[in-house]
Chains A and B, each alone.
Chain A
């Protein structure tokens, strides 16, 4: 992912460096490209190595060449054949989808309240929400466990949705509050003249205008929920309720005495692909979302 953003930035930065010196490749420019390449290589290498390993089998796994000697798809079929990996993928999709929908819906309403309604303790409440995201996951784990047990959600996807909201909500609320504050006040007043209620205002006037910001924060929430490991490991027990990060970590062979690296890598690649696809599709929106509003509402 960092490779992608790097590639975008490079051409934008280059023209202004060219003007003063006559030489086509001044030293600074070479250094710039060398540093960029090194950075891209370091960030992409683990992914490349995982990709390469996923096509290797047996002893080939332990040779460090990037190009597999005898490429095979056996690992990929094995992942789906020997455990309910499709079920796990579906679980992850459900959990991440619900988390995105809930956190965007809730935080949009919260953002309107924090951004536009004057009430006592607004600043304090906003700080509290932010500070919730400062606690390490481990610190809230046991309390969260009690909560999950209380609601009878142990070993179900609902537990993960609630737990993941704790991770995503502070961030989405904060980002959307900033964007709501930038929306022109007149729009809200025009809506008041039209006689619309709060929910219509938030979801039919604000939401379409905040769409770029929603896409950006929603994507980040999706990634957070998709990759979440600790809660998923703690609150689920059965193989059928697992999400993919846990499923991958618990992949084992029948004997239990060796780690099936090929299948682990294949599963990792499968899990990464949707994220890469999402980022590529929404990349423009993210950049627009994170920089929009600064110029023009």
Chain B
């Protein structure tokens, strides 16, 4: 059992709010990823859990125990730092043993735990080396091993892959996922700015948004399973952050409310969106959103000029110039023979549309999966 509960947690640096009113439950054994752009406070939230920073308001419970006042070592958590923070003057073995010796564990127990961690992370033969004699990937594994030997209830990872090169990052990502399965009951909280890491590792994503001095916004933009955030973003911020390349946004006005769905007017063209019409009025200004992978090329009645093409090999990014507007619509296409200035027919399927009101809140979508638990989403 290692449930984490945050109740109304806020953090101020001086007068500047960094995190505001965070309510969060992380279930035992859950892999929870904090993700968000720079300055959203995701690392600060992790450090609040670790006890390296004190909360300004609110309560943090780990396993039903209020830990606000407890020093890091007594919270039963282990942290893997972005810079690894291995003790440079100690061997790999000493790095792992240091904290355990300090907790006065029996020598045999320490040996046993380290042997276990060495087996899991394949550190055989490295035990007597100093950190500077290790490669980046090996240091990362030692840092994880140092966390494992403490047998904590909660693992905290602070952007652990950001110092690795691309190939190693993919490999270590798989290792962390494997580790999570192997360790079973321990919860993992993982901070990253990389949405691929977030989507692939998480049982649950907590997407944080920067407050940037605003007092009306909450820190958690949306929290839920990765595919929920992808298919049912609660607001424009989430829709724009999850997915790569980012979702297309087009200004539009509500033309009429049909059932089921909404007809919107984009520069004189009427498009259908299969979203809830609740609360909308004809004539209201809204934002239409559609992901590049959902724009259909080569079919439909509308035509647009191709202003630019990026060929990535497996697919191409096609920039369409919407007639009568300066905004480009990005589409993904498997074709690699599309030329610039070509006039292409395209279609925006109604079930792929997202619709956001002027305050950024999304209209519920009928398509794809069931919407996320509304309790997990919060916006103004």
Residues of A at the B interface (CB closer than 8 Å) are: 184, 186-187, 189-190, 192-196, 200, 205, 208-209, 297
Stretch at the interface among B69-77, B114-122, B174-182: B69-77
| B225 within 8 Å of A (CB atoms) | no
Given contacts A194-B73, A195-B72, A195-B74, contact A189 B85 (CB under 8 A): yes
A-B contact count (CB 8 A): 52
Q: Is the beta-carbon distance between B81 and A209 smaller than 8 angstroms? A: no
| B103 within 8 Å of A (CB atoms) | yes
Q: Is the beta-carbon distance between A194 and B99 smaller than 8 angstroms? A: yes
The 6 closest A-B pairs by CB, nearest first: A195-B73, A194-B99, A186-B85, A208-B89, A190-B85, A186-B81
Q: Is the beta-carbon distance between A192 and B83 smaller than 8 angstroms? A: no
Residues of A close to B87: CB separation below 8 A: 187, 190, 205
Residues of A close to B84: CB separation below 8 A: 186
Task: From A192, A205, A208, A209, give the contact of B73 (CB < 8 A).
Answer: A192
Residues of B at the A interface (CB closer than 8 Å) are: 50-52, 71-74, 77-79, 81-89, 98-99, 102-103
Given contacts A186-B83, A189-B52, A189-B81, contact A195 B102 (CB under 8 A): yes
Q: A267 to B98, alpha carbons, bound, how many Å?
A: 49
Q: Is the beta-carbon distance between A196 and B85 smaller than 8 angstroms? A: no
Instruction: Determine how close the nearest CB of chain A comes to the CB of B153; give it in whole angstroms.
Output: 14
Q: A208 to B52, alpha carbons, bound, how many Å?
A: 24
Instruction: Determine how close the nearest CB of chain A comes to the CB of B46; give it in whole angstroms.
Output: 11
A185 and chain B: residue at smallest CB distance: B85
A187, A194, A200, A297: residue with the most chain B Cβ atoms closer than 10 Å: A194
Residues of A close to B81: CB separation below 8 A: 186, 189-190
Instruction: Determine how close the nearest CB of chain B comes to the CB of A285; give it in whole angstroms.
Output: 15
Given contacts A208-B89, A209-B88, A209-B89, contact A193 B83 (CB under 8 A): no
Instruction: Determine how close the nearest CB of chain A comes to the CB of B105; give it in whole angstroms.
Output: 12
A sample of 12 inter-chain contacts (CB < 8 A) reads A187-B85, A190-B79, A192-B51, A192-B72, A193-B50, A194-B73, A195-B74, A195-B103, A196-B98, A205-B87, A209-B88, A297-B88
A200 and chain B: residue at smallest CB distance: B102
Q: Is the beta-carbon distance between B102 and A193 smaller than 8 angstroms? A: no
